[in-house]
Amino acid sequence: MKIADKNVVTLEFELFDRDGQLIDSSQSNGPLVYLHGAEQLLQGLENALAGQGLGEELSVELAPEQAFGQREEGLVDRVSRENFPGVEHIEAGMRFQTEMEDGSPMLVTVTEVDEEWVTVDGNHELAGRHLRFELKVADIRAATPEELAHGHIHGEGGHSH
Which stretches of the chain bind Zn ion, using CB under 5 A?
150, 159
What minimum distance in Å lies between the beta carbon of 29 and Zn ion? Answer: 22
Specify the residue, 55 or 155, whose C-beta has the smaller distance to Zn ion.
Answer: 155
What minimum distance in Å lies between the beta carbon of 146 and Zn ion? Answer: 7
Specify the residue, 81 or 152, whose C-beta has the smaller distance to Zn ion.
Answer: 152
d(CA 106, CA 27) in angstroms, rounded, equals 29
Specify the residue, 66 or 144, whose C-beta has the smaller distance to Zn ion.
Answer: 144
Number of H helices and E strands in the chain, helices first, is 3, 9
d(CA 78, CA 121) in angstroms, rounded, equals 9
Helix (H, G, I), strand (E, B) or coil at 35: strand
Q: Which residue is nearest to Zn ion (CB)?
A: 150
d(CA 144, CA 155) in angstroms, rounded, equals 11
What minimum distance in Å lies between the beta carbon of 154 and Zn ion? Answer: 6
